[in-house]
């Protein structure tokens, strides 16, 4: 989809952008090459979060019109709704890339993760020590090993998400050491603070169904204002983000837990099992039982 000459890129487009995609499940993507991204389009808006780790050489690009140069041991955060353009690199450039969808990201969002992202958004380039970049590269290589050797230990999306969560925790610890632990919330605009609190409320809900009005009342704002803030920050409505959060938890529970469909529905605030089934079919394309049988627990 085009927006004022800028092409929108979703996570599902990543396999087309990078010819060296290593893993992709619709929520998480691993790649180790951005050479094809440089010629894919002149400028595009990303509808996902990406972290690029440069292991050798140099690469530069503009994010929202600002040019950033990254070299060996540098990390670059590309946030949701960022416009990326003017990608160039030298012949020695090697990068590792991790992409996360909004739906996937919300399900493991915590206060420390969100505040670290707020810090790094102000200056998206971080120069990591060799040990730090080595640690993150090891996570990447571990994920690749699990993909290439599915018969060793457990396999599938559960393993990938576990590796990703561990990676995120270590990445946040590393970022904290570079940016400091104190984040002055008073310096944030009111809308930023409200969005920050909204995301934390989503995280605390563990996917339980609540209306936009419920969250707006908790934040002492109107539902309309909360939705406008969400559109500004993520290009999605408050209702969209609530749905992403709920659907993400539904998928996790269907795929990785032994809870019955009824138990999952009740835990997520669906009192009517029939409505829960219709909700799942609407967002996942099939009934809860079929989704579980085809993709997840007990397969």
Q: Which residue bears the tokens 């949701």?
A: 80
pLDDT at 183: 46
- Percent of the chain at pLDDT exceeding 70: 73
Each domain of the chain, given as residue ranges in start order, spans 2-179, 185-295
Q: Which fold has domain 2-179?
A: Jelly Rolls (2.60.120)
Q: 155 or 92: which carries more pLDDT confidence? A: 92
113 in Cβ contact with 140 (< 8 Å): no
Per-residue pLDDT tens over the stretch 98-123: 887 766 665 555 555 555 565 666 67
Among 110, 105, 104, 116, CA closest to 204: 110
276-287 b/e with 16+ CB inside 10 Å = b? bbebbeeebeee
167: part of which helix (H) or strand (E)? helix 157-179
261 in Cβ contact with 288 (< 8 Å): yes
Distance CA 139, CA 105 (A): 18
**Strands laid side by side in the 48-56 sheet:** 21-24, 28-31, 94-101, 48-56, 74-78, 125-127
Residue 264 has pLDDT above 70, yes or no: yes
Q: What is the mean pLDDT of residues 244-250?
A: 84
pLDDT at 270: 92
Per-residue pLDDT tens over the stretch 158-170: 676 677 767 766 7
In eight-state DSSP terms, residue 207 is T
**According to CATH, what is the number of the domain 185-295?**
1.10.10.60
């Amino acid at each position: 989809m085009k927006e004022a000459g800028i092409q929108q890129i979703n996570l599902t487009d990543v396999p087309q952008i990078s010819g060296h995609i290593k893993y992709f499940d619709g929520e998480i993507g691993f790649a180790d090459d951005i050479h094809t991204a440089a010629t894919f389009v002149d400028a595009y808006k990303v509808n996902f979060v990406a972290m690029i780790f440069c292991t050798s050489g140099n690469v530069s690009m503009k994010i929202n019109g600002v040019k950033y140069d990254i070299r060996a041991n540098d990390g670059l955060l590309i946030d949701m709704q960022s416009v990326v353009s003017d990608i160039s690199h030298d012949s020695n450039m090697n990068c590792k890339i991790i992409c996360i969808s909004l739906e996937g990201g919300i399900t493991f969002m915590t206060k420390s993760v969100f505040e670290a992202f707020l810090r790094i958004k102000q200056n998206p380039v971080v120069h990591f020590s060799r040990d730090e970049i080595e640690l993150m590269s090891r996570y990447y290589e571990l994920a690749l090993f699990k993909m290439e050797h599915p018969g060793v230990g457990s396999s599938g999306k559960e393993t990938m998400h576990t590796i990703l969560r561990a990676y995120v925790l270590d990445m946040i610890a590393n970022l904290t050491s570079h940016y400091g632990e104190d984040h002055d919330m008073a310096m944030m605009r009111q809308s930023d603070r409200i969005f920050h609190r909204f995301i934390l409320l989503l995280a605390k809900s563990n996917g339980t169904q609540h209306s936009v009005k419920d969250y707006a009342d908790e934040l002492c704002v109107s539902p309309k204002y909360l939705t406008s803030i969400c559109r500004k920050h993520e290009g999605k409505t408050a209702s969209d983000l609530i749905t992403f959060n709920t659907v993400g938890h539904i998928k996790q529970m269907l795929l990785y837990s032994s809870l019955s469909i009824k138990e999952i529905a009740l835990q997520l605030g669906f009192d009517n099992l029939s409505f829960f089934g219709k909700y799942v079919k609407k967002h996942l394309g099939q009934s809860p039982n079929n989704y579980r049988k085809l993709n997840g627990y007990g397969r």
